[in-house]
Amino acid sequence: MAQSTDLVVPNTSAAGVRSGINARLVAIATHQSGTAAPSTTYPYQFWADTTNGLLKQRDGANAAFVTVGTLGVANLGLATLASPDFTGTPLAPTAAAGTNTRQLATTAFVTSYAMPVLGTSQSASGTSVDFTSIPSWAKRITVMFADLSLNGTAHALIQLGDSGGIENTGYVSSSTYLSGGVSSSSVFSTGGIVLYDGTPANALTGSVVFTKLSGNRWVATGLYNFSSSTGVNGFTAGDKTLSDTLDRIRITNTASDTFDAGSINILYE
């Protein structure tokens, strides 16, 4: 133990002053090492806690000692600035989704951003089904549907939207269906990405993938089958440039028919 009651040199004889100076220099040199904290403390004072093997420092308010590191260990057991080798379970702040900087990515960031996110499946009903709150970082969105059916002869339509709402113009899209491997009929639309349907008996099962090309331009490709018919498949493709960042998708139709069956969901990544 090398501690001094305080750092005030006593006003005594020459020998006493010298002894007092030496004792206090030793205390400072050994960081007030001892099994208990020094009785008199100062802001930012070091203390080598020999009971716990820790180097501690007094806080600026002189209210408590704060642990700095472990005694007798290289670099006080702290990570080095260059090429640190962490052990245990190191924690770090999780960046906001879409962050593209040199900030470290936590497992929470990777899970929420890099992994595909599945939406909540909805039953097809009414004239349209909406999916909102799609994050701005999404670069690819898959619209999936099973046994999707309309009560009339309209064709299913997928529309994109941003903070200004769903956009129903400016698309370039066509869809064709094949029966027995032979093209039977096609349909073209500027109001959305169209899925050839054509009769109330048809029930569509498949998916359409929207991929961000650049800026706010999205291209779409899709494949589906007529689950009510054997050997009948449908194809669709097209593109749309939005006025702002995509944040919503609507599944509707080319007229005002009503969905009477099916389920729809989205997956974004």
- Looking at the fold, whether 61 and 147 belong to one and the same domain comes out as no
Query: Which residue, of 25, 56, 77, is where some domain finishes?
Result: 77
- Looking at the fold, whether 172 and 222 belong to one and the same domain comes out as yes
CA distance 35 to 66: 16
- Looking at the fold, whether 129 and 260 belong to one and the same domain comes out as yes
Token pair for residue 77?
């057991």
Residue 95: the pLDDT is 84
Q: What is the mean pLDDT of each run of 10 residues along the chain (269 residues)?
A: 78 84 82 89 91 92 94 87 86 81 82 80 96 94 96 96 97 89 82 90 94 98 84 90 98 95 96
CA distance 132 to 119: 10
Residue 178: the pLDDT is 84
User: C-alpha distances in angstroms, 19 versus 3, 47, 262?
Assistant: 13, 21, 92
Q: Is 112 a domain residue?
A: no
CA distance 189 to 173: 5
Token pair for residue 174?
């066509």
Q: Which of 153, 85, 122, 150 is nearest to 249 (CA)?
A: 122
- Looking at the fold, whether 68 and 176 belong to one and the same domain comes out as no
CA distance 175 to 152: 18
- Looking at the fold, whether 127 and 39 belong to one and the same domain comes out as no
Number of domains, the chain? 2
Q: Is 83 a domain residue?
A: no
Q: Is 96 a domain residue?
A: no
Q: Is 85 a domain residue?
A: no
Domain span at residue 201 reads: 117-268
Q: Which of 103, 96, 137, 92 is nearest to 117 (CA)?
A: 137
- Looking at the fold, whether 70 and 134 belong to one and the same domain comes out as no
- Looking at the fold, whether 172 and 254 belong to one and the same domain comes out as yes
- Looking at the fold, whether 49 and 128 belong to one and the same domain comes out as no
- Looking at the fold, whether 123 and 190 belong to one and the same domain comes out as yes
Asked whether the beta carbons of 120 and 134 are under 8 A apart, the reply is no
- Looking at the fold, whether 122 and 250 belong to one and the same domain comes out as yes
Q: Is 110 a domain residue?
A: no
Domain CATH for 190 = 2.60.120
- Looking at the fold, whether 46 and 136 belong to one and the same domain comes out as no
Query: Which residue, of 77, 108, 132, is where some domain finishes?
Result: 77
First-to-last C-alpha distance (Å) of the chain:
61
Query: Which residue, of 29, 62, 77, is where some domain finishes?
Result: 77
Q: Is 87 a domain residue?
A: no
Q: Is 34 a domain residue?
A: yes
CA 8, 11, 15 angle in degrees (round to 5)?
105
Q: Which of 68, 70, 73 is nearest to 53 (CA)?
A: 70
Asked whether the beta carbons of 177 and 184 are under 8 A apart, the reply is yes
Q: Is 192 a domain residue?
A: yes
- Looking at the fold, whether 260 and 173 belong to one and the same domain comes out as yes
